[in-house]
Amino acid sequence: MSKIKRTDHRRRRFIQGAVAGAAITAFAPSRFAIGGTAKVKVGILLPYSGTYAFLGEKITAAMKFAIAQAGGKLGGRDIEFVQLDSEAKPPKATENTNKLITGENVDFLVGPVHSGVAMAMAKIAREENVITIVPNAGANQLTGPLCAPNIFRTSFSNWQPSFPSGKVVYDDGHRNVVTMAWNYGAGKQALGGFSQGFEDAGGKIVKQILTPFPKVEFQAYLTEIAALKPDAVFVFYAGGGAIKFVKDYAASGLKDKIPLYSSGFLTEGTLKAQGAAAEGIKTTLHYSETLDNPANRIFRPAFEKATGKSADVFAVQGYDTGLLLLQAMNAVKGDTGAQKEIITAMENAVIDSPRGKWTFSAAHNPIQDFYLRQVVDGQNKVLGIAHKALSDLAKGCRMG
């Protein structure tokens, strides 16, 4: 389907709803009542199984929570969510994205968590011109060579949270570091960000170890690290894999000998399960549960009460996705056909997030602060700001 036809379809659906609504509310029409009849379709492609399952669940719950808190509508219209399990499997991403775009004709697409899934999804979303909000996947390309007017990211690029860790590790006095990550886009790009920051400061990467995704058999690699005897180790793992890695690192005896650093995903949503094994780990991330700002103070208890889930960075990214949809749809009073105006509203959005207020860069990626955190008594305690208002590199981004 061509770009123009798809947008026309959205406007038709909006107008049909409006006419039907006008008939029903003939004696007291209001914009809200008119727009309220046709549902806005939001397609969600996130993992609900596998190592990233809890990330997908938190993002979904928090996005819905943000919208429910604002009255449960987008620009005055009811919403239909169409949810698919991505399984964090790139080979299934094209079929799943097509199911939502062509099969369901969604107005908005939200997802995914996994960078490999994101690459496939973004290519189709660009082609089909569907407004897409990425609430986690950090693939640098999305706000680099694959950037597009209709693609926004409310989370981070993979480079972003790891880059500030480089200077942190160097300033802690470490000079020789082993890096380790899952062997796919996110892992490699996270290590790339760290290495850039660390080498710029004067440090040396002794060895980069890549392990198959989503496997969690780490023992052989930990034995190798023990033999290499670096000053410190920097890793990227998240979700179920992060729980296993941190426990294995402690159980192997390395924890007390070689300090462990990471981008903050290693200790997000995982601390209860990791227990004492996580104590002392230093990370950099755009959020911490201990941030003392009004939005975070209100968000955490309200989200936890409403959903029974603990709030973490993934919940915050989902919540901010909901806030963005609300702002944009309110700006066009529910007219999903007004794509240009929706994009402008998104580009100008100021998100009052539990992570701190943020805005979009020209490449549609958050410009945000990255906090230095350390696990103390089962919490990611903020030690300071590792990098203020850090923008993604956006290498190769040309907005068409």
CA gap 141, 185 in Å, rounded? 10
Q: Does 238 bind ligand PHB (CB under 6 A)?
A: yes
Cβ 370 to ligand PHB shortest distance, Å? 14
13-72 residues near ligand PHB, rule: CB under 6 A: none
Among 180, 186, 316, 324, binds ligand PHB (CB under 6 A): 186
CA gap 372, 258 in Å, rounded? 19
Which residue, 159 or 198, has its beta carbon nearer to ligand PHB? 159
If you write DSSP's letter for every residue of 235-254 in order, what string do you get? Answer: EE--HHHHHHHHHHHHHTT-
Cβ 78 to ligand PHB shortest distance, Å? 32
CA gap 191, 181 in Å, rounded? 7
CA gap 259, 233 in Å, rounded? 6
78-97 residues near ligand PHB, rule: CB under 6 A: none
Cβ 159 to ligand PHB shortest distance, Å? 11
Q: Retrieve residue 63's tokens.
A: 């996005």
Cβ 137 to ligand PHB shortest distance, Å? 4
For 9, counting Cβ atoms within 10 Å of its Cβ (0-12 exposed, 13-18 middle, 19+ buried), the class is middle
DSSP 8-state secondary structure symbol assigned to residue 140: G
- CB < 8 Å & 24+ apart, contacts of 301-308: 302/65, 302/69, 303/61, 303/62, 303/65, 306/65, 306/68, 307/61, 307/62, 307/65
256-285 residues near ligand PHB, rule: CB under 6 A: 265
Cβ 185 to ligand PHB shortest distance, Å? 7
Going from the C-alpha of 333 to that of each of 19, 28, 151, 159, 341, the distances in angstroms are: 15, 18, 21, 36, 11
Which residue, 74 or 125, has its beta carbon nearer to ligand PHB? 125
Fill in the amino acid letter for 289: E
98-157 residues near ligand PHB, rule: CB under 6 A: 113-115, 136-139
Which residue, 137 or 397, has its beta carbon nearer to ligand PHB? 137
Which residue, 128 or 268, has its beta carbon nearer to ligand PHB? 268
> Which residues, in sequence order, are CB contacts of 155 under 8 Å at separation 6+?
134, 135, 136, 137, 138, 317, 366
Structural contact between residues 119 and 139, judged by C-beta atoms closer than 8 angstroms: yes
Which residue, 93 or 113, has its beta carbon nearer to ligand PHB? 113
Cβ 300 to ligand PHB shortest distance, Å? 19
> Which residues, in sequence order, are CB contacts of 274 under 8 Å at separation 6+?
242, 243, 246, 247, 267
Which residue, 146 or 186, has its beta carbon nearer to ligand PHB? 186
317-346 residues near ligand PHB, rule: CB under 6 A: none
Which residue, 40 or 61, has its beta carbon nearer to ligand PHB? 61
Which residue, 226 or 273, has its beta carbon nearer to ligand PHB? 273
Cβ 190 to ligand PHB shortest distance, Å? 7
Cβ 115 to ligand PHB shortest distance, Å? 4
Q: Retrieve residue 358's tokens.
A: 């943020």
List residues near ligand PHB by CB under 6 A: 113-115, 136-139, 158, 186, 238, 265
